[in-house]
Amino acid sequence: MQLYNTLSAEERAIMIDDAGKQRLTLSFYAYAKIQDPKKFRDDLFLAWNALDALGRIYVATEGINAQMSIPEENLEAFRATLEVYDFMKGIRLNEAVEHDDHSFLKLTIKVRDKIVADGLNDETFDVTDIGVHLKAKEFNDILDDPNTIVVDFRNHYESEVGHFKNAITPDVETFRESLPIINEQLQNHKEDKNLVMYCTGGIRCEKASAYFKHQGFKNVYQLEGGIINYAKQIEAEGLESKFIGKNFVFDNRLGERITDDIISQCHQCGKPCDNHTNCENDGCHLLFIQCDECKAAMENCCSTECLDIIHMPLVDQVRLRTGKQVGNKVFRKGKSDSLKFKHSGELANTSLATAEKPLDIRQKIKVKKVLLGKAEHYYVKAQVGLFTIENHELNTGDKILISGPTTGNQELILEKMIVNEAQATTAKIGDRVTFEVPFRIRLSDKLYKIVN
């Protein structure tokens, strides 16, 4: 039985593009008592792998926490795999505000001690004795009550790009840090205030609300389904959004826009910006906010030190990072003295700029295309893009497509190109190619050849 991934992320991305099928990004969680998490994990892997489901899932004796990408045509079959378990019958699936076919590129199901790391001894209180769930309209109404205290139970890098107005936004890097901080801060308001909490999809608040009820808070409420579900409801019901900015998400998108307000700054130059990225230096991979101009100038690095390192020979780069603990390369969330415009803790409700109208991120397959490679650099003054060819062959005269969440889908005819620093008519796998691109490209952009 296959209980592991047989394809790399790059190979899976090619398969997704070649299949030309719409995928949905969704999340769900459930607290339950699972006797054998290992068997539960293996059974889920077999069922979901057969449906081409991808994602990052944690299972434990206390339940399941999942963020996933599902082919739209397999959604009902996927629901059926959940209905097998009594504790997941009728479970709410939080669909993303913006879908991206590449949000997840592997199916990873891990057995953990807990589905949310909280640092608590769960035996000291009843995790099912939770606060009152509020839908979007009810949540908006209670925020208007002067006796309400609203708390963001996410981390500093999440709240920085978007949060509910007037919320307490703890300057923390983990959920477990926020519980004692808030408990201490609100000790004198256990009976006279409404303690209202929110997070991305609801799972952190589910446990936090039980914890604060156990601590003696009388009026405990939580946003049902978190920010993701709130965004869906305010759009469907035409409600005012009391959330401002962008919702950070834990997949390749790194965020989905809730309002057009940009409330954060590029950590390097201070320009209004809310696009997270990871430092290009493999020995760093710091998660930070970077505008397009700084991305081009700093080549996706967080500091001049990292910029120098990525230009070193690979053997020297490996030597420098040997023995260092980078941690989770996608979400290393430590702060850095190099980031002069980083903000956390008490955050303002002020919009610094208005975002461009969001592009339709759903990949509606109108043309047949094959993935060639990815963008490596964009030379702004010369308007030249640098790409690495990873699949198939590229020829002058080919119709190509450059695609990315910000760039959108841009088509052009390749008239001439430089291959490995010499003019050529053909580029093969492994070649580095430059050619004129009359628009700005980003490092997240992919290069395709249109074949129909």
Looking at residue 332, what is its pLDDT? 60
Q: Is residue 292 domain-resident?
A: no
Residue labelled with tokens 């409404």: 194
Q: Is residue 105 domain-resident?
A: yes
Helix axes 175-185, 203-214, angle to 10 degrees: 40
Q: Sign (positive/negative) of CA torsion 350, 266, 160, 240?
A: positive
Q: Is residue 420 domain-resident?
A: yes
Which among 96, 111, 126 is the end of a domain? Answer: 111
Q: Is residue 50 domain-resident?
A: yes
The H or E element spanning position 217 is none
Looking at residue 365, what is its pLDDT? 43
Which among 82, 111, 140 is the end of a domain? Answer: 111
Q: Is residue 74 domain-resident?
A: yes
What CATH code is carried by the domain that includes residue 374?
A: 2.40.30.10
Q: Is residue 156 domain-resident?
A: no
Strands 94-95 and 408-413: unpaired
Which among 111, 140, 159 is the end of a domain? Answer: 111
The pLDDT tens digits of the residues spanning 32-86 come to 889 999 999 999 999 999 999 999 999 999 899 999 999 999 999 999 999 999 9
CB 433 within 8 A of CB 389: yes
Structural domains in the chain (count): 2
The pLDDT tens digits of the residues spanning 331-342 come to 567 788 889 999
Q: Is residue 408 domain-resident?
A: yes
All residue ranges of the chain with pLDDT < 50 are: 327-328, 359-366
Whole domain around residue 58: which residue ranges?
9-111
427: burial class by Cβ within 10 Å (0-12, 13-18, 19+)? buried
The pLDDT tens digits of the residues spanning 205-237 come to 988 999 999 999 999 999 999 999 999 999 999
Q: Is residue 382 domain-resident?
A: yes
Closest among 139, 350, 358 to 229, alpha carbons compared: 139
Closest among 71, 57, 70 to 20, alpha carbons compared: 71
What CATH code is carried by the domain that includes residue 74?
A: 3.30.70.100
Q: Which of 199, 205, 279, 294 is catalytic?
A: 199
Residue 302 among the catalytic residues? no
